[in-house]
């Protein structure tokens, strides 16, 4: 059986959601972040050398990286579902968003997380300096980058209800985490089309079922 090695409050929630949408049987093995560092536990190193989540195992195969996992699941279990037909404009958009979600969207979100957390972890005498540097980095680079991405999402979702076109696809699954994280970290919920998209996905029965299977997930609402 396919096994999802699932870390709480992580991008692997999308993998559970995709499997629920497709009705694929799977097992969840849960891992908890370290309460102080928020890093994945060392037990994940036994599954994959980088010790990161998401990662799945299916028989003798181990697949990491969300985009690769989604492609594998669609190829192995999708039977043509949640992916537009080859050669269509929607398929090209699907492929773009599949790579964009981790390749472009997550970079400024990760930087926002790092620079927000950095001052609290600095030594006492350096806290003031680190706080000033972090604030400058955010206001001068990270926040403008995030605004550009959020405006872009809102504009694209004004063209069609879903990212790849008029039909819900796995592109919407992979794009869910950047949008959810951006609501939490960068006020993306003020954009009407972004908010409407998140309201739609959060109402999907498969999304709710995945939350039940996955446990703690801070970005659901």
Q: What is the pLDDT of residues 56-73, one digit of tens each?
A: 999 999 999 999 999 999
Give the model's confidence band at 157: pLDDT under 50 very low, under 70 low, under 90 confident, else very high: very high
170 with 145, same domain: the answer is yes
Calpha distance 113→31 (Å, rounded): 21
CB 31 within 8 A of CB 53: yes
Cα–Cα distance between 180 and 195 in angstroms, integer? Answer: 9
pLDDT digit string, tens, across residues 92-145 = 999 999 999 999 999 999 999 999 988 888 888 888 999 999 999 999 999 999
CB 207 within 8 A of CB 177: no
Q: Please indicate, yes or no, whether residues 155 and 57 belong to a single structural domain of this protein.
A: no
Please tell me the distance from the alpha carbon of residue 86 to that of residue 84, in angstroms, as a whole number: 6
170-220 confidence digits (pLDDT tens): 999 999 999 999 999 999 999 999 999 999 999 999 999 999 999 888 886
pLDDT in tens, 5-60: 999 888 999 999 999 999 999 999 999 887 777 778 889 999 999 988 999 999 99
Q: What is the domain-level CATH number for residue 60?
A: 3.40.30.10
Q: Residue 98's domain is classified under what CATH number?
A: 1.20.1050.10
What pLDDT does residue 216 have? 83
Residue 97 and residue 57 share a domain = no
Q: Which domain holds residue 163?
A: 89-204
Same domain for 108 and 52: no
Can you list the positions of beta strands (E) in 21-180?
26-31, 55-58, 61-64
Is the domain of 27 the same as that of 113? no
Token pair, residue 180, equals 């959810």
The predicted pLDDT at position 121 comes to 82
**Could you tell me if residue 221 is inside a domain?**
no
Are residues 64 and 110 both part of a single domain? no
CA separation for the pair 101, 177 (Å, rounded): 8
How many C-alpha atoms does 210 have within 13 Å on its Cβ side? 29
Q: Are 6 and 214 in contact (CB under 8 A)?
A: yes
Residues 118 and 182 in one domain: yes
Residues sharing a CB contact under 8 Å with residue 26, sequence separation 6 or more, in sequence order: 1, 2, 3, 4, 16, 19
Q: Note the pLDDT of residue 125.
A: 82
pLDDT of residue 221: 62
Task: Please tell me whether residues 62 and 13 are part of one structural domain.
Answer: yes
Q: If we measure between CA atoms, which residue out of 177, 114, 172 comes closest to residue 142?
A: 114
Any residues with CB less than 8 A from the CB of 199 and at least 6 apart, and which?
none
pTM score, whole prediction: 0.93
Q: What is the dihedral of CA 67, 68, 69, 73, to 10 degrees?
A: 100
């Amino acid at each position: 059986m396919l096994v999802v090695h699932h870390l709480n409050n992580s991008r692997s929630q999308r993998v559970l959601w995709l499997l629920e949408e497709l009705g694929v049987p799977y097992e969840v093995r849960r891992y908890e972040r370290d309460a102080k560092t928020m890093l994945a536990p060392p037990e994940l190193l036994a599954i994959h050398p980088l010790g990161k989540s998401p990662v799945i195992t299916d028989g003798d195969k181990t697949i990491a990286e969300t985009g690769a996992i989604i492609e594998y699941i669609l190829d192995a279990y999708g039977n043509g579902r949640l992916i537009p037909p080859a050669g269509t404009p929607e398929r090209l958009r699907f492929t773009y968003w599949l790579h964009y979600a981790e390749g472009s969207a997550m970079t400024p979100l990760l930087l926002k997380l790092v620079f927000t957390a950095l001052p609290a972890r600095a030594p006492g005498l350096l806290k003031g300096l680190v706080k000033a540097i972090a604030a400058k980095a955010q206001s001068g680079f990270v926040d403008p980058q995030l605004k550009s991405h959020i405006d872009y999402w809102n504009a694209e979702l004004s063209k069609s209800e879903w990212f790849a076109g008029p039909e819900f696809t796995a592109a919407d699954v992979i794009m869910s985490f950047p949008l959810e994280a951006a609501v939490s970290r960068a006020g993306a919920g003020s954009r009407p089309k972004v908010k409407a998209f998140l309201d739609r996905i959060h109402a999907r029965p498969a999304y709710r079922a995945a939350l039940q299977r996955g446990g703690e997930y801070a970005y659901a609402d």
